[in-house]
Amino acid sequence: MEQVRITLPDGSVKEYNQGISVGEIALDISPRLRKAAVAGIVDGEMVDLSYQPRDGASVKIVTEDTEEALSVIRHSAAHVMAQAVSRLFGGVKLAIGPAIDDGFYYDFDLEHRFTPEDLEAIEKEMQRIVEQNLPITRAEVSKSAALEKVRSAGQIYKEELISDLEGDHVSFYSQGEFEDLCRGPHLESTGRLKAFKLLSIAGAYWRGDERNKMLQRIYGTAFAKRSDLEVHLARLEEAKKRDHRKLGKDLDLFSLHEEGPGFPFFHPNGVIVWNELVNYWREKHAAAGYVEIKTPIVLNRSLWENSGHWEKYRENMYFTQIDEQDFAVKPMNCPGGILVYQSSLHSYRDLPIRCAELGLVHRHEKSGTLHGLFRVRAFTQDDAHIYMRRDQVQDEIIGVIDLVDSFYRAFGFPYRVELSTKPENAIGSDDIWDLATDALRGALEARGLDYRVNEGDGAFYGPKIDFHLEDCIGRTWQCGTIQLDFVMPERFDLTYVGEDGRKHRPVMIHRTVFGSLERFIGILIEHYAGAFPVWLSPVQAVVIPVTDMHHAYAHSVARELAEAGVRCRVDDRNEKLGYRIRDAQLLKVPYMLVVGDNESSSRSVSVRSREHGDRGSVPVESFVKTITDEIRTRSGVPQKR
């Protein structure tokens, strides 16, 4: 029989009979490996265990204890859920059911409206399907046969998907009586699905288009082990308690209104947090050699055509007409910043020029994707654009990395780094992209940062470094970014006069630290569970007089604190002392200062700390020094749970 040569991850090469499957290769390596295997990676592509690699292929076995396995497990869980729904309810039309970060979902079209009780019934049916241990098999059919198959079954959404697919053949996966259009890969049987949970019901437009029918979406999650699922569910419960939308209302930070969907309204308390972040941002940027600029929100069409946004980003933009000319509300700050650079001549001695901007931008997001402060239509980017010579690129990128690092440490965020490369809709030559990507990679390696490559996720004008910070309950958020751009300087004909007296082309960095102030505030609310460190807290101390007799002294203490720059108030309501203390605790006030006879006579305050409880009586002067030191040093980060 003909042989095939297979290269394993350690570089060794083994020969097998032609037709051997990935699962059989795993068994040959080790029965233990075969037991843990859920899929394979052949020449970089994830495949089923039944897949038969060609001669010369490289093969890696994906085991259930790896991150790579989760997408296979979750995708299979989505199919099991769809099978359960099809068994329990009549006339189900199936849409799509992918694996996503932290779980999976499936979209359904049926007359019955799902309820929370339905989720329990679907889960039970899923468990029965798992116990049946149905083999999951893959079959390829011609596109015409596939269309006939789904039409006869009344699966209109699958028909649309198949019609849009390229190629002459498509694949289906079957388990028992259930069959679904799918590229795979999947587990080899339903019995391999060990730990899953259905989480919620939502509405979702078909293909995310508001003009299409609203479908019913069921979200779930799945893991290789029950213990991992339990940890994840505990994290979800903690996240519910920290939901920034609820805490934003409870702490009177911001609100959302139907009159402005996707446009958040910040209240006085929220503006205090906003301003403190902006003050910190300005201090750090001034120290790092940045100058601040401000550019208009509305600019004409020709600018956006020149930048490439009119072609590449138009569906996300808002438009208007002024004096019968087309204008756009800016979705990004960079073209306006470029006009500032162009407004004067520059010498090589001027570079690098670091221009920072807190720029309000607007982007059209579909209504179904809007989510508190995390997904909005208007937000303030803490942008900066750096113009530099080519010999300055690496040092400038490292400087931005150092700045981002100092910001995230101040808030208690560890982070990981991704290098995102050329996307499909890129502008500019391959040579320019290679040059920019190599420059980012070189800076990361010179800085000694571990990173992973995110292929094809760069901006349309350049590759980027993305910072994914981790909050205190283990969730990750993409915030800061560094984008290296050789394209925009070319499109806008940016120049500087070199040492040789000739014009040269600068290189441009686009970068953010917070990403969006609105979103970063939402992240901070959940990171701190609303209990901001003292320097960010809208109210830093509340003075609570024991009785009416102590009102005057309470107000004198509050005045002394206010004169020292402390945000404080007096709670002299006609309520019991315990009630007022509990109210301050619910509002996450860092310090409660109780004053009675002893405190009035000794010029002291009885300190109750949000973090450390009763700290006893201290002189007013001592407390003022303590709290002002905390504010000045911006101390206080949450402990990881």
The active-site residue out of 244, 363, 511, 580 is 363
Question: Is residue 640 flagged as an active site residue?
Answer: no
Tokens 């303590």 correspond to what residue? 626
**Beta-bridge partners for 469:** 415, 477
In sequence order, the 6+-apart residues with CB closer than 8 A to the CB of 103 are 74, 199, 219, 220, 221, 222
Taken in order 275, 280, 286, 288, the sign of the CA dihedral is negative
Tell me the mean pLDDT in the region 448-468: 87
Phi, psi of 237 (to 5 degrees): -65, -40
The pLDDT assigned to 425 comes to 77
Tell me the mean pLDDT in the region 312-333: 92
CA of 181: how far to CAs of 69, 91, 108, 569, in Å? 21, 17, 14, 63
Phi, psi of 306 (to 5 degrees): -65, -40
Cβ pair 503, 494 in contact under 8 A: no
- The maximal CA–CA distance of the chain, rounded, in angstroms, is 100
Domains of the chain, first to last: 3-63 (3.10.20.30), 70-232 (3.30.980.10), 254-527 (3.30.930.10), 541-633 (3.40.50.800)
Question: Is residue 385 flagged as an active site residue?
Answer: yes
Tokens 């949970």 correspond to what residue? 197
Q: Which two tokens stand for residue 162?
A: 């198949």
Output the average pLDDT for the chain: 93
Question: Is residue 479 flagged as an active site residue?
Answer: no
The pLDDT assigned to 641 comes to 46
Question: Is residue 383 flagged as an active site residue?
Answer: yes
Whole-angstrom distance, CA of residue 622 vs CA of residue 618: 6
Per-residue model confidence as pLDDT tens digits over 606-631: 999 998 899 999 999 999 999 999 99
Per-residue model confidence as pLDDT tens digits over 263-284: 999 999 999 999 999 999 999 9
Cβ pair 113, 86 in contact under 8 A: no
The active-site residue out of 334, 355, 472, 568 is 334
Per-residue model confidence as pLDDT tens digits over 560-604: 999 999 999 999 999 999 999 999 999 999 999 999 999 999 999
Label residue 47 by pLDDT band (50, 70, 90). very high
pLDDT score of 461 more than 80:
no
The pLDDT assigned to 506 comes to 96
Q: Which two tokens stand for residue 451?
A: 């990173």
Whole-angstrom distance, CA of residue 299 vs CA of residue 304: 8
The pLDDT assigned to 209 comes to 80
Question: Is residue 381 flagged as an active site residue?
Answer: yes
CA 533 and chain centroid, separation: 23
The active-site residue out of 149, 285, 510, 588 is 510
State whether residue 359 is helix, strand or coil.
strand
Helix (H) or strand (E) holding 483: strand 476-485
Per-residue model confidence as pLDDT tens digits over 406-448: 999 999 899 999 999 888 878 778 888 888 888 899 999 988 8
Question: Is residue 510 flagged as an active site residue?
Answer: yes
The pLDDT assigned to 639 comes to 57
Whole-angstrom distance, CA of residue 158 vs CA of residue 93: 9
In sequence order, the 6+-apart residues with CB closer than 8 A to the CB of 335 are 299, 303, 304, 306, 307, 309, 492
Per-residue model confidence as pLDDT tens digits over 121-155: 999 999 999 999 999 999 999 999 999 999 999 99
Label residue 6 by pLDDT band (50, 70, 90). very high
The active-site residue out of 382, 383, 466, 485 is 383
Which pTM does this prediction carry?
0.83
Question: Is residue 550 flagged as an active site residue?
Answer: no
The active-site residue out of 464, 511, 550, 588 is 464
Nearest CA among 505, 485, 435 for reference residue 307: 485
Per-residue model confidence as pLDDT tens digits over 12-38: 999 999 999 999 999 999 999 999 999
